[in-house]
Each structure stands twice: as C-alpha cells, then as structure tokens.
Amino acid sequence: MPETIDVKQRILAANEAAAKLLRGRAEANGTLVTNLISSPGSGKTTLLEATVRTLASRLRVAVIEGDIATERDAERLRALGVPAHQILTGGACHLDARQVDAALQLAAFPLVDLLFIENVGNLICPTSYDLGEDFKVVLLSVTEGEDKPFKYPAIFAKAAVTVITKSDLLPHVTFDLDAVRRQVASLNPDGRLLVTSARSGDGIGDWCGLLEERLAAKRSART
C-alpha cells in the first residue's frame, strides 16, 4: 500500500511540474485556458460548439480534446473552422499535463485568446490533474440527477464554474435545480453556477460573457 501511494505521489509531482510550464506559457501568451470536466455525454463538446459560434468572430479559439478513442469531438470543432487536436488516451480516464504539452507541440496552434481543454468524460479521475488551466469547469446535465454534487464532491469543490446543461429538458425530467444550487454553494462558496442550454441558447451569453471577463481580467493583471 505505501508503495502505491508513493507512485501516485510521484505521478502527481511530475504532473505538477508540467502544469507549471503550461501555465507559464499561457500567461506569457495572454491565453485563457479552461479545463472542461463532466461525465460522458453531459454536453461538453456541444457547449464548445455553441461557444465557438458565439465568440469565434471576435476571439481566437483553439481546442484540445481528450477521449479514450475516436477523433469525433476534434472533428466537430474543426468543422466550425476552429483548430482542434484530439488526444487519444487509449483507455486512461483523464488527461495529464504532459499529454497536453505534447499535444500543443504537435498541434502547433496559432496564438489564441481562448484555449479549451475538453477532458475525458469522467467526474472523478480528471479532478486530481492540473493541466495548467486558469480554471476548471464542471458540467452537469439536467438528466443526470440533482444528487451529483454531494456524490462527487471533489470536482464540484474544485471547479470555479459549474455549468448546468440541457436546461431545455427541465420540463421533461425530475431535477431540483435549487437542490443543486445549495449543494454547490456549500461545497464551493466562491464558485459560479450557470444554467445553460446549447439547444435553446439560454445562458450561452452568460457563459461567453464570463469567459470574456476572465480573459480581460487575466490580461489586465499582466500589465
């Protein structure tokens, strides 16, 4: 058992070192980096598509996608004219900072304002891995049940932003939004919670506004 802990600590220490380099580069470039985390199918790629449709005319965007198999998500973003690179983990349930660093070198993206990293669909493993992001975002769709923040507390405590997705489906499902708000507020009193639907467009303006505000704040802190 102690050996297992030691190996895990060494993996996380190596990850921290790589994340620090990534963060330094993003800082020098003035790029806002967002790490999107959720269970499979909560709507990460669909939110990114809506974000690109809203912001790409005024901001430069690139996307790193993480999945265990297929290029599908990167292809969806490329179809919108956005540079996107797919990391295939071959089974691993999260991305790590060294993979992101290698992907950025391979992809050789132009300088961008916003870099999104869509993590592998999983609410647990990605939580422990810093990818050099400015902040983590956790997505929870209204079809997943309102008990999830307390069942998966680490990610809801760590994510600066919780995005409720698929709000257009609220009339058709049992999902107590107030219960989610209470859980998230108790796990993460400083966190923001946004309610969105990529289908109807509800809340997408708020989400994009939050990204623009954080980008402006990051850049004004550098000057």
Ligand X SMILES: Nc1nc2c(ncn2[C@@H]2O[C@H](COP(=O)(O)OP(=O)(O)OP(=O)(O)O)[C@@H](O)[C@H]2O)c(=O)[nH]1
The residue ranges that bind ligand X (CB under 6 A) are: 38, 40-46, 73, 121, 165-166, 168-169, 197-199
Nearest approach in angstroms of CB 46 to ligand X is 3
Closer Cβ to ligand X, 24 or 40, answer by number: 40
Question: Cα(216)–Cα(22) distance, rounded to whole angstroms?
Answer: 19
Closer Cβ to ligand X, 114 or 163, answer by number: 163
Nearest approach in angstroms of CB 21 to Mg ion is 26
Q: In degrees rounded to 5, what are phi and psi of residue 216? A: -65, -40
Residue 169's binding partner out of Mg ion, ligand X, none, with CB under 5 to 8 Å set by partner kind: ligand X
Closer Cβ to Mg ion, 33 or 198, answer by number: 198
Closer Cβ to ligand X, 18 or 204, answer by number: 204
Nearest approach in angstroms of CB 132 to Mg ion is 20
Nearest approach in angstroms of CB 143 to ligand X is 9
Q: Which residue is nearest to ligand X (CB)?
A: 121
88 bridge partner residues: 67
Residue 168's binding partner out of ligand X, Mg ion, none, with CB under 5 to 8 Å set by partner kind: ligand X
Residue 38's binding partner out of Mg ion, ligand X, none, with CB under 5 to 8 Å set by partner kind: ligand X
Residue 107's binding partner out of ligand X, Mg ion, none, with CB under 5 to 8 Å set by partner kind: none
Question: Cα(156)–Cα(183) distance, rounded to whole angstroms?
Answer: 9
Nearest approach in angstroms of CB 123 to ligand X is 10
Residues forming contacts to Mg ion in the complex (CB under 5 A) are 44-45, 73
